[in-house]
Every structure is written in structure tokens, then in C-alpha cells.
Amino acid sequence: MVIVAAAAATGFAGLVPQVAAGQAFRLAWEWAPGIGATLSFFIDGLSLLFALMITGIGALVALYAGTYLAGHRYYGRFFVYLFAFMLAMLGLVLADNLITLFVFWELTSVTSFLLIGLDHDDPRARRNALQALLVTGSGGLALLAGFLLLGQAGGSLELSQLIERGEQVRADPLYLAILMLVLAGAFTKSAQVPFHFWLPNAMAAPTPVSAYLHSATMVKAGIYLLARLHPTLGSTEVWIWTLTIVGAVTAVLSAVIALRQTDLKLVLAYTTVLALGLLTMFLGSDDRIGIVAAITFLIVHSLYKCALFLVVGNIDHGSGSRDVDTLGGLGRAMPVTAVAGMVAALSMAGFPPLLGFIGKELKYEGALAVASEPVLVAAAAIIANAIMVALAAIVALLPFIGRRKPTPHAPHEAPTAMLLGPALLAALGLVFGLVPPIVGNLLVQPAVTAVLGAPETVKLALWHGINLPLVLSIVTFILGLSILRYHRALRRAVAAACDRIGISGDGGYDRVMDAVAWVAKAQTRVVQPGILRHYLFAVFVVIAVAGGGTLIALGGLAWPEPSVEVPFQAWGIVLLALLGSGLTIVAQTRLAAICGLGTVGASVAMIFLLYGAPDVAMTQLLVEILFIVIIAVVLPKLPRLRDTGVARLGPRPVDALLALGVGAVMSALTLAVLTVPASQHLPEYFASNSVPEAHGRNIVNVILVDFRALDTLGEIVVVGVAAFAAYALIRLRPETGRRR
């Protein structure tokens, strides 16, 4: 997998000069043209940036995992899941068709579920994997509805076309519904408030999964979607305010919650939610610099976050602990890990000369450029970044300095394969900071152009002189170091407040799931008591009330003009059917009632025969005869009702009244249909295509076997399942002569 991912990253890197020059690539194959679904892929600056992160970081994570998970009982399974996850993410960011994108969107949820629950014997892993699947999957359903409405409003399902039709979509009456549905999908995927709880819980996954999940893949899918649809849905008041407020609240809240954590993986998890909140907040901006800040910070976060997760994995591997209170003085035993972690942490904190410093400067510049509420955005950014400074030191400084603390086993440096990833990623953060035009001209500028939908020039620099963003950076460092100085006291205060208020969101999820289970049980007791008669009664009541009520409310009652004369013998058949129905109502035995129903079925067969459908009549008659014969054979072998514990059937007059009501509604509906001129489109289509397309001259058979092949297959499956169920019921006959 390492070789495949590295080769893919190399291939995408080869496209960077062309994409940076303004070129785009598109491939498309017909998939399901009837619904507008095309297997189309599109590479521009934004999708190429994500593809590089997915494959490049994926190769390093796979290399790391090969050693980290050596000897794991699910070692082979892990790499299958990880590779499928990588392919799903690649398909998501490269997809041009909305339906194609949605398919890969859901595949990321499924594959992440498998990765998070890799150790499925652990109840916590199973619970958290299911939580991630339910939250992101429910958002995915909303996203699908939003995509379908977006395709209707924009006149296309191709993103490359929708990008150019932003004004048309924003002017459509469906715009608000589209926006809310799309944001629901993006917010659940990228763990925005109130869906922020699932991402930290995903730490039940092995460390390589966490590193990949948080830095380059699934949680960035929502950010990618917001960036991709910015030209189509962005620049409106509701877009700006929703993303700004939700992103700011998510960033500040997750930063505060992160302060109470002692598990290094959980600290990093909440800082990921913090970063996603900042990205969302800046993608809500209608100013160019806000988008530049978002794209630059996206790269910064991917580099340092993956590096720090791998560093934490090395700490856990080398000392047997991830609890910051039990760690210290590891730098002498793990020098390479310590250096890589400290460099990555400096980028996370935004210290020069790393790329993180440039990203932080741009964030403040972008915050001050927000026309709607610069003070709110800047304040949220300062608070989040200050806490991030303290958290960076907690993760990558405190475990390596000071006095050596006792750990589960003697600390030692990680193997080379586990050092390459964090060292290379930390080094890239330093190189890109020292030579910012590399990343600015080749990656940031094409991505910003794609997000804004218009050519943009981006120039990243390490030094812009003494200005307000620099002053805010200095304030951030001072606040961050102050938080670090008193972080233990702050941790206790935050923990007490979180426990009292319950802002983690996880308890709310449990209460929602408990409420869903309670409603399901209550509903089951009412509508699924296990008595077939109740089910049938409920179905027919709904048909009678809903169908009849709709016909009356909409004025659908009508009496058609007779188009043909009814022959005398037809009245005799009708009378026979009525007699069969009456026999069914008054019968005292099952066999008599079924014979009455058989009489009705035979009458229907004669109606078919009378009006020129002998094949259908023959089928109907054979089915009725066979049914009666089978029932007559089976009935003596069935247990009596009192032997099975089933209560005696209710009064027949109620059943008769319900039957008359349903029959009246269906008759009225049939008569109303006859008043509408029949369309000849389908008959003409079947008549003209039966022979050339299906090679059959019996149109009815052709419809059943060819044009409705899947429907017919479904019916066959239903009949087969019913046969097995009937066999099982017959086998339940109590044995005689056995004492109970």
C-alpha cells in the first residue's frame, strides 16, 4: 500500500505545475444517464491539493502502521480498510458529479466505521464506531436531498458547471433548503457544533487511523465540500453568518474542552475540532484574504496534526503511556521523536519561521477583513489560537522535558519506519515556512482560485512588517504561555464546569439514542403486537380513510360515461362474486371462507376471459385452484387456534364494514381513473419495443420478464420467502403425546 500511495502522490505532484498554470482536467463515463449520474472526475487546484494530502500523508501513515501494528491480529484487515478509505476519499475530492460524490461520501463513512471499530471485541470501539456512522450517515442523507435540489436549481449535477451558475442557484426559491441540507452534511462530517462529540470518540481507533482521519481524510471532507460549493452557495448573508457563528463556537468550545484532557490523543482530537471550526469560520468569509487564510491553514494543520499524532504514537509505543501527567523526561531516550514533535508543535502554535506562523498571520488578517463581524471573528481566533499554543506545549514539550517519570516500561526510541513520517512532516512545515512561495504559488494560489471561482494571485511571506496581525500574534503567545503556566488549575476548573454543564455533547447523543429506542419500543407495542389480523386491519383502515378522504377533499369523485355495453353474462359473474364474498363473511370454518374467496377469484378470471385476456384468465384460475387445493391439504395439519394461544377472531360485522369501505374506495378510485383520458405513451412504447428490444411478441410477458425484470424478481423473492415462512409455521405444529 505504501508503494501505491506514494506512486499516486507522485502522479498528482506531476500535475501541480499544469494546474498552477490554470489548467484543469476532467474525465467522465456514462453511469446512470437516466438519473443524470455520470462517473466524472475533475482536477483543479482544490481537488489536487486534497489529493496530494490524501495520498502523500496516506503513504507515510501506511509506512508507520506497518511497524506500529506489527503482530496485531487484524493486521491484514487493517490495510484493506485503510486502502479502501483512501480510495473513497480520493473519489470524494475528485468527483465532479454530485451523485458520484455522494457515493464516495458514504463510502468514507462506512470505511471509517470499519477502521474505528477495528478492535471490535472492545465495546467502546464498537460503540464509538457506530456513533460516527450514525452521525455522519444521517448527515449524508440530508446531503443527498440537498444535492438533488441543487441539481434541480442549477440545472446540472456536475460541479464544474454548478460553479459557474452560482447566481442562478442563489436566486432560486430552493436556495435556503439546499443550503441547510448541504450544511447538515458538511457539519456532521467535520464535527461542527452540535455534532462535535463523535470525532474525539473516534480515538478508539488505532493511532495511525487517528493520524490519517484527523489530518487528511474524513473530517476534512466537510471542509472540502464547503470550499467546493463556495462559488455556488457562498456570499449570502445566511451563508456568512451560519458558517461564521458555527465555526467560531466550535473552535472556542473545543479549545476549552481540550484543556481538561490528559490523554494526548484526546488533546489532539479536540484541537482537530478546534481547527475545523476555524476553517469553517474562514470559509464563511466573502473576502479573498479569508479564503487564503483557510487554504493555508488547511495545509498547516494537515502537516503538524499528522506529525503530532505519530509522535504521540511513538510516545505510547516507547513508554506505554499517553497520559501527560505520567510523562516527563523522555527527550533523552527518544531524541528524534522529541525534535520532530517540538518542530510540529511550534508550527501548531504559530511560531516563526514555520508555516504555522504564516497561517496564523493570515488568519488574523482574514478575521479583521470580515465585514460582518470582525471583532467576533478576531476574538474567537485569538482565544482558540492562545489555547492552541498551550496545548501544543502540553503535547510535544511537557512529555520530553523535566525529570524522568516512571512509565509502564522503559522508554526507548521508535523504529526508523515510525520516525520517517513525523520527521518528514515536521521538516516540510519548516521548509515551507522558510520558502513560502513554494507552497503559495504551487498549492495555495490554485486552490484559492478554485474556491473563489475566479483567478487570484497569492503571495505568502514570512515577514510583513509590524502590523496589527503581528501584534495579535504577540498577544496570542502571551496568553498561550499564561494558560500553559496555569494549565493544571485551569484543567480542574474546566473539568468541573464541563461536568456541571455537560457541553461535551456525548451525553446528549446517549439521551437522543435512548429516546429513539423508547419511541421504537412504544411504537412496536402498539403497531406490531404480533397478531396478523391487527396488521391487516390497520392497513385497510388507512387505505379506506386516507384514500377516501383524499378523493373527497380533492373532488376526485366522478362517474365516467359508459364506453361499452355490459353484457348480460357479466352481471351473472358479478352476482357470483357477491355470493362468494357473502360466503366468506358468514363462513364458520376456514375452509368455507377460503372457498368463498376462491369463488371471487374464479369470477375475476371469468371477467378477464369475457373481455379478451384468456392468458391472464388462465393464470388467475390456476392460481385460485392451486391455492384452494394447497389450503385444503394444509388446514387439517394446522393447530387449532386455542392450541396456539391465539385469541378468537373479533366480530364479523366490523370486518364486513371495513371490507365494504375499502371496496367502495377502490371502486371510486377506479371510476375516477376512467374519467381521465388514457395516455398512449406507454402502450405505444411497449408495442414498438417488445420485438426489437426484448424479442417477444406477447407484450404482457415481455413487460413482466424484461421491462419489469427487477420488479418480477422481487415478487419471486417475496413468494419464495413466504413459502419458507409457511413451511416454518407448519413445522411449529405441537407434537402429540408429549407431556408439557
* 359 vs 292: CA distance, rounded Å: 9
Model confidence pLDDT, tens digit, residues 565-580:
778 888 888 899 889 8
Q: For residue 502, what pLDDT is reported? A: 67
Provide mean pLDDT across the span 489-506: 79
Structural domain contains residue 58: no
Q: For residue 644, what pLDDT is reported? A: 45
Partners of 39 in the β-ladder = 29
What band does 735 get if pLDDT is binned at 50, 70 and 90?
Answer: low
3-state secondary structure of 695: coil
- Report the percent of the chain where pLDDT is more than 90: 49
* 732 vs 740: CA distance, rounded Å: 15
Tabulate helix, strand, coil % of the chain (nearest 5).
75, 5, 25
* pLDDT mean across residues, the chain: 87
- Report the percent of the chain where pLDDT is more than 70: 95
Residues 6+ apart with CB under 8 A from 678: none
Can you spell out the DSSP letters for 124-155?
HHHHHHHHHHHHHHHHHHHHHHHHHHHHHHHT
Residue where one domain finishes, among candidates 678, 702, 722: 678
Residues 660, 576 within the same domain: yes
Q: Which helix (H) or strand (E) holds 42?
A: strand 37-43
Structural domain contains residue 733: yes
3-state secondary structure of 97: strand
Residues 247, 328 within the same domain: yes
**Domain total for the chain?**
3
Judge whether 201 and 133 are in contact, CB under 8 Å.
Answer: no
* 254 vs 241: CA distance, rounded Å: 20
Residues 329, 444 within the same domain: yes
Q: For residue 372, what pLDDT is reported? A: 59
Q: Which amino acid is at 501?
A: I
Structural domain contains residue 196: no
Query: Could you give the angle at the alpha carbon of 383 between the alpha carbons of 257 and 244, nearest 5°?
Result: 90
Residue where one domain finishes, among candidates 678, 693, 713: 678
Instruction: Check pLDDT > 80 for residue 371.
Output: no
Tell which wins on pLDDT, 84 or 660: 84
Residues 712, 661 within the same domain: no
* 97 vs 26: CA distance, rounded Å: 11
Q: For residue 246, what pLDDT is reported? A: 94
Instruction: Check pLDDT > 50 for residue 739.
Output: no
Residues 590, 732 within the same domain: no
Residues 363, 375 within the same domain: yes
pTM: 0.80
3-state secondary structure of 258: helix
Instruction: Check pLDDT > 80 for residue 353.
Output: yes
CA-based nearest residue to 287, from 230, 335, 347, 331: 230
Residues 286, 244 within the same domain: yes
Judge whether 139 and 133 are in contact, CB under 8 Å.
Answer: no
The boundaries of the domain holding residue 594 are: 532-678
CA-based R_g, the chain, Å: 34
Q: Which of 61-75, 78-92, 482-496, 649-663 has the lowest mean pLDDT?
A: 649-663
Structural domain contains residue 21: no
Residues 674, 702 within the same domain: no
Residues 249, 380 within the same domain: yes
Judge whether 188 and 139 are in contact, CB under 8 Å.
Answer: yes
Residue where one domain finishes, among candidates 660, 678, 696: 678
Provide mean pLDDT across the span 124-130: 91
Judge whether 584 and 593 are in contact, CB under 8 Å.
Answer: yes
| Three-state DSSP string of 299-355 | HHHHHHHHHHHHHHHHHHHHHCCCEHHHCCCCCCCCHHHHHHHHHHHHHHHCCCCCH
Residues 615, 724 within the same domain: no
Partners of 42 in the β-ladder = 26
